[in-house]
Amino acid sequence: MKRTVLFSVLALVLAMCSQRVFAYDFIVDGICYTKLPHQLPDGGCGETTLSVVSDGENTYSGDIVIPETVTFSGETYTVDDIGDAAFYNCTELTSLTLPNTIKVIGFHSISGCPKLMVLDLPAGMVQVFSNAFSDNPNLDYIFVHSIEPFYLWSGAFDEINDHFKIVVPCGALEAFEDDTDWGGYPLMDDCGNVGIEETKTATVDVYPNPASETLTIEAEGEVAIIDETGRTLKTLNVNGKKTIELEGLARGMYFIKAEETVKKVFVE
């Protein structure tokens, strides 16, 4: 069921939410957090969790890894929310790793980040707000790890670019295509169109990732370079380490396979 949000209501919500966009309760390891008290149905107090919020200066940069929990002043909190405009216009943000505890991604929370190429949404996601990922010209892939569609506000994936793809788990493509919130977006699955699932305990290493001119592969034996359709483009023998030129490879996602080990690499 497609949800329609009146502009006047959306404006009111944005105005209410803006109070926490630049406000934070504390900073740990360079990341700003705001406490989110939760009320129980009976009126009691539930667990207080954390929202990642903006530092007010748009200075988050490089490779940012959000932890599942944060300890501050002797208290440990779960991080389950990416606040409104948390990473808005962070032009030097190159990657963002979200923990499995994240459930909500707010308005314009990860937008205006021209160096961001790929993003993983955890399996426990509950909702994504409007324009959460807008104005990201180089965001090529959003990997969704939930096997069922979750709640999307209108325009959640709008205004990214004209070439991004949403990759859903193997076997989940039909459910996402049938959901009216998701069906209008460029969907593909991790077993059909992509063809190969990355080995998480890979013994092969590739860098830099993303790569532009050259790619260094560390492996032993025959290595195959495979595109996102599963087509083998090139094979080569690697004895320890080899650097190859990427001339002729189109921008996008590729797989480096050595025996049964697979690594994803992004070419920009």
Residue-by-residue pLDDT tens, the chain, 268 positions = 444 343 333 433 333 433 334 589 999 999 999 999 987 777 777 899 999 999 988 899 998 999 999 999 999 999 999 999 999 999 999 889 999 999 999 999 999 999 888 898 999 999 999 999 999 998 888 989 999 999 999 999 988 988 888 988 878 999 999 999 998 899 887 764 444 556 666 678 888 888 888 999 999 899 888 877 667 788 899 999 999 998 888 888 888 888 777 788 888 7
58 and 90 Cβ atoms separated by less than 8 Å: yes
The residue segments making up the domain with residue 246 are: 205-267
Q: How far apart are alpha carbons 35 and 71 in whole angstroms? A: 12
Q: Give the chain's length.
A: 268
Q: Report pLDDT for 15.
A: 38
- The reply to whether 31 and 163 lie within a common domain is yes
Burial of 128 (C-beta count, 10 Å sphere; 0-12/13-18/19+): buried
Q: Report pLDDT for 46.
A: 82
153 and 125 Cβ atoms separated by less than 8 Å: no
Q: What is the pTM of this model?
A: 0.71
Taking CA atoms, 186 is separated from 1, 65, 142, 211, 259, in Å, by 19, 27, 10, 24, 31
Q: How far apart are alpha carbons 227 and 246 in whole angstroms? A: 13
Q: Which CATH number covers residue 226?
A: 2.60.40
- Among residues 160, 189, 218, the one where a domain terminates is 189
- The reply to whether 125 and 86 lie within a common domain is yes
Q: Is residue 7 part of a domain?
A: no
Burial of 139 (C-beta count, 10 Å sphere; 0-12/13-18/19+): buried
Q: How far apart are alpha carbons 2 and 182 in whole angstroms? A: 9
Q: How far apart are alpha carbons 57 and 76 in whole angstroms? A: 26
H/E stretch holding 167 reads strand 165-168
- The reply to whether 166 and 211 lie within a common domain is no
SS3 category, 177: helix
Q: Report pLDDT for 106.
A: 96
Q: Report pLDDT for 5.
A: 40
Q: Is residue 141 part of a domain?
A: yes
Q: How far apart are alpha carbons 129 and 3 in whole angstroms? A: 12
- The reply to whether 32 and 102 lie within a common domain is yes
- Among residues 156, 189, 222, the one where a domain terminates is 189
- The reply to whether 94 and 210 lie within a common domain is no
Instruction: Calculate the CA 165 to chain-centre distance.
Output: 12
Q: Which CATH number covers residue 177?
A: 3.80.10.10
Question: And the tokens for 217?
Answer: 């592969």
